[in-house]
Amino acid sequence: MIQVREPTQPPAVAGGDPTGSTIAPLDDVAITLTPAEREAAGEVFAASARALKGRPLDDEEVLTEAEFAGLRLPRRILEALGRFRRQGNDAGALLIRNMPVDLAPPATPADGFLSHWNDLPVATFGQLAVASTVGDVIAYADEKLGRVVQDITPVQGDERRQENSGTVYLELHTEDGFHPSKPDFITLLCIRPDHERVARTVVGAAAGALPLLSERAAGVLREPRFRLRVSSSFGGGADDLLTEPLPVLSGTAEVPDLLADFHAMDALDEEAGAALEELRSAFLATLRGGVLEAGDLVVVDNRTAIHGRSEFTARYDGTDRWLRRCFAVTDIRSSRADRPAGSRVCHPLRDIGLFVPGPSTTPRIEGPACMGS
């Protein structure tokens, strides 16, 4: 259940960009399509898009076509995606370079919404094909109008928001960690990089960060002493909705699951807040990532890794940074009660019945552990 808490002042955005120059590249988990492979895959995706032009993406025929299109990716790409789906890796991410994208993309959407997926047919089907290979595509009515493939662009006026429409450092977070059907995998496809090539997509994996924790902090993080604030879009514009107490770490010590958000997570007590800050420091010391170029597609394991983005400057001239995002889950059946029949888009959270009235008395531990995401 999700509880309503007494309204508070929104947390301050973390000062500056703490990622510095400590980010290791993803080269060891990257795989690059050859020019011939890229051309062949592009022809497959273009043909699929032409056959289903004008159809909504939340259509089983479209998504089935994307699954079959994915099977025509090079075998080594399919093998890499299959291993990542089943076993993960120490980076928490897989990078596919030189994916086919449309040669003449339209202007970067100023409002964060492409008018229709047909304006980017090759990129759209390519991303759906990859997402369908690691799981079943899923979306959320509360987020980006329920779009199956979403546009991540800077929106003028949102510069300092801890949202994908901002340009300040986007704090490390589990994507939609408060949702009962949160994504297991996130795919991010670059259509256009930022002008200065400074916007780095960063990933922090549990495999790298957890060995740096003290035994006490690791133990505290396994206890239900934390709450996540629900994104205002999911809460119908409300900023005062919290999950019930939950742990940051779960699963086995060998294969831990992670749920963290260093902007939207509240600690219930000072010891929990200190453990959360220790975890954040461990992630900052082990970050991976880099600037995504057009045709770069990164898949993030949302169960074992958190992600964010370094700050950058937008020009709002139609050529700003533009990523497209699509989610996947390993078990679409588990969310069937939360979706309309035949749809991959989950009902609004309020309709699922997760909110309960009454203020929360949970103290917020202000400080670096809760700033920034």
pLDDT of the residue at 109: 97
pLDDT of the residue at 350: 84
Q: What is the CATH number of domain 2-7+20-102+110-370?
A: 3.60.130.10
Q: What is the rounded distance in angstroms from the CA atom of residue 216 to the CA atom of residue 279?
A: 12
pTM summary value = 0.91
CA atoms within 13 A on the CB side of 21: 0
Q: What is the rounded distance in angstroms from the CA atom of residue 250 to the CA atom of residue 305?
A: 13
pLDDT of the residue at 49: 98
Who's near 341: CB < 8 A, 6+ residues apart? Answer: none
User: With 0-12 CB in 10 A as exposed, 13-18 as middle and 19+ as buried, what is 44?
Assistant: buried
Q: Which residues of the chain have pLDDT under 50?
A: 1-15, 356-373
- Extended beta strands in the chain, E state: 2-4, 30-32, 93-97, 136-140, 150-152, 170-173, 185-192, 200-205, 226-228, 241-243, 249-251, 256-258, 265-267, 288-291, 297-301, 305-309, 322-329, 345-346, 355-356
Question: Would you call 69 helix, strand, or coil by DSSP?
Answer: helix
Predicted confidence (pLDDT) per residue in 25-58, tens digit: 999 999 999 999 999 999 999 999 999 999 999 9
Q: What is the rounded distance in angstroms from the CA atom of residue 238 to the CA atom of residue 251?
A: 32
pLDDT of the residue at 237: 56
pLDDT of the residue at 360: 39
Predicted confidence (pLDDT) per residue in 299-339, tens digit: 999 999 999 999 999 999 999 999 999 999 999 999 999 99
Q: How far is CA 263 from CA 56, 170, 228, 287, in A?
A: 34, 9, 9, 17
Predicted confidence (pLDDT) per residue in 328-347, tens digit: 999 999 999 999 999 999 99
